[in-house]
């Protein structure tokens, strides 16, 4: 059971209670087992015990508590003696989840060790550092997936680097692009997301051991030394200053970065959905044997994975508002953030994991209809080349505004009559004497107008590879 989703349907079966999942995350519909395991109650308990062990070990290292005591606390914390079931029973009495963990640990330790368990700490030292430990491990799963998507996108950008396609703004044909440039733009942004996350870790993967109001009151001036040791041992960063809680700006930044990645995924998914529309038909999600697009219409092939990504992105974006609301807590803290974070933090991580898994599959298997790419270029009967006609006239000394007005006049007339734009230019007395047939032939060839697309794609491919080499080498904790 995932700790952030405690709600269950309850059925009476043979005189007993059976708890059934309500939310689709609990049913296994969304998110990989690896990402969900991080937030399950049993694993959360292990994170908490690991933290308690790390604090005791650090305190013994600087002779704050006896070494023998620390060894026993570490040994018991790492054993299987502290069970979720026992913690649950203790929580039912105390109505305090963290106190229940400390009590369960204390029950298994000797009399000499009991006084030193949780020494100098407060509940949110455990809670907030556990969140950081969970998110540390979330990013170890998420970042390699972001990179894999970036690599897939980079490969597809190279595959279609020389394929002319319609460039659209406002939903209208504007000019010509290399179709591979679409993938390159997305690949570059995915690589940048990895940079953002890596740069942010020192700000939000934080360890706190400073007690009730953030002063380290019981441990005194050596509290900072303990915190530094614990942070290093847990692959975290010591908090600069805190109240009873780590400032919620740090949690909001995590939510923002996760959502920012999700918005890029939504951008990609939205483009796939648009390009798969029957009227465009330039791409299509892979349709497997036996798959059904509609219960009523046998011929439907719907972009369901991309639509799922867009749908989950809307939910993901809504979580940012909650994270921002959690920043202004009362004085040194209150509990108004606590309950909602049990939902929002795991939900954000699990939803992004699902979105990445889905979109990696979509892009890797995306069908590109090059015939439609070519035919769509001709849909406006040559009017997509107007930018290049204008450029040619300007280079011949025609003022830009005069050339613009002449091209617009001829183009609008050709559109109304159904005439090809090139033929209309040849028949126009003003334009025909400025542009020869050979010049028009060059202008109306799409492969001549890909600009620096190839160089841009090469640059992006190098950026993605450099990101892989920088953050995913053999020394990194991130692995593909």
Q: Which residues are catalytic?
A: 170, 294
Q: Supply the Cα-derived Rg of the chain in whole angstroms.
A: 30
In 244-340, the DSSP E strands lie at 283-284
Distance CA 446, CA 377 (A): 8
Angle subtended by helix axes 123-159 and 338-365, to nearest 10? 20
- For the record, the structure tokens of 298 come out as 């046998």
Distance CA 429, CA 327 (A): 68
| Residue that has been written with the tokens 């005591």 in this structure | 69
Distance CA 212, CA 124 (A): 8
Distance CA 451, CA 442 (A): 14
8-state DSSP, 4: T
Distance CA 94, CA 103 (A): 10
Its sign, for the CA torsion 403, 404, 410, 411, is: positive
Its sign, for the CA torsion 160, 164, 167, 173, is: negative
- For the record, the structure tokens of 99 come out as 């106190």
Distance CA 326, CA 321 (A): 9
Contact 198, 471 (CB under 8 A): yes
How many alpha carbons fall within 13 Å on the CB side of residue 306?
25
Distance CA 37, CA 50 (A): 16
Closest CA to 84 of 7, 2, 207: 2
Distance CA 324, CA 248 (A): 8
Q: Which residues on adjacent β-strands are paired with residue 283? A: 368
């Amino acid at each position: 059971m995932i700790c952030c989703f405690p709600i269950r349907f309850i059925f009476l079966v043979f005189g007993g209670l059976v708890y059934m999942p309500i939310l689709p995350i609990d049913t296994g519909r969304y998110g990989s087992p690896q990402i969900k395991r991080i937030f399950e109650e049993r694993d959360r308990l292990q994170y908490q015990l690991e933290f308690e062990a790390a604090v005791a070990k650090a305190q013994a290292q600087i002779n704050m508590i006896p070494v023998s005591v620390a060894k026993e606390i570490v040994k018991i914390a790492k054993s299987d003696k502290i069970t979720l079931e026992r913690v649950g029973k203790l929580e039912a009495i105390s109505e305090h989840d963290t106190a229940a963990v400390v009590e369960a640990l204390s029950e298994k330790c000797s009399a000499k060790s009991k006084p030193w368990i949780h020494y100098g700490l407060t509940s949110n030292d455990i809670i907030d550092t556990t969140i950081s430990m969970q998110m540390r491990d979330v990013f170890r799963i998420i970042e390699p997936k972001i990179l894999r998507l970036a690599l897939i996108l980079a490969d597809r950008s190279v595959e279609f680097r020389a394929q002319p396609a319609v460039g659209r703004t406002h939903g209208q044909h504007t000019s010509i692009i290399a179709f591979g440039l679409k993938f390159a733009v997305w690949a570059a942004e995915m690589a940048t997301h990895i940079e953002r996350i890596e740069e942010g870790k020192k700000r939000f993967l934080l360890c706190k051991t400073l007690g009730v109001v953030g002063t380290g009151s019981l441990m005194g001036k050596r509290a900072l030394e303990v915190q530094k040791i614990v942070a290093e041992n847990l692959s975290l960063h010591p908090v600069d200053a805190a109240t009873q809680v780590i400032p919620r700006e740090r949690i909001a930044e995590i939510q923002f970065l996760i959502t920012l990645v999700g918005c890029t995924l939504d951008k990609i998914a939205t483009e796939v959905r648009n390009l798969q529309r029957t009227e465009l038909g330039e791409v299509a999600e892979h349709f497997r044997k036996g798959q059904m697009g509609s219960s009523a219409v046998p011929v439907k092939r719907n972009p369901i994975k991309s639509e799922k990504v867009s749908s989950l992105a809307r939910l993901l974006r809504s979580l940012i508002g909650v994270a921002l609301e959690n920043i202004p807590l009362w004085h040194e803290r209150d509990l108004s953030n606590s309950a909602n974070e049990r939902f929002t933090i795991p939900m954000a991580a699990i939803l992004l994991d699902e979105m990445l898994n889905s979109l990696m599959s979509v892009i890797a298997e995306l069908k590109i209809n090059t015939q439609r790419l070519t035919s769509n270029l001709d849909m406006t009967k040559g009017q997509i080349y107007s930018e290049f006609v204008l450029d040619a006239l300007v280079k011949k000394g025609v003022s830009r505004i005069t050339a613009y007005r002449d091209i617009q006049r001829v183009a609008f007339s050709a559109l109304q009559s159904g005439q090809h734009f090139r033929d209309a230019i040849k028949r126009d007395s003003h334009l025909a004497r400025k542009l020869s047939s050979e010049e028009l032939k060059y202008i109306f060839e799409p492969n001549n107008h890909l600009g620096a697309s190839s160089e841009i794609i090469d640059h992006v491919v190098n950026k993605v590879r450099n990101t892989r080499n920088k953050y995913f080498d053999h020394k990194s904790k991130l692995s593909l």
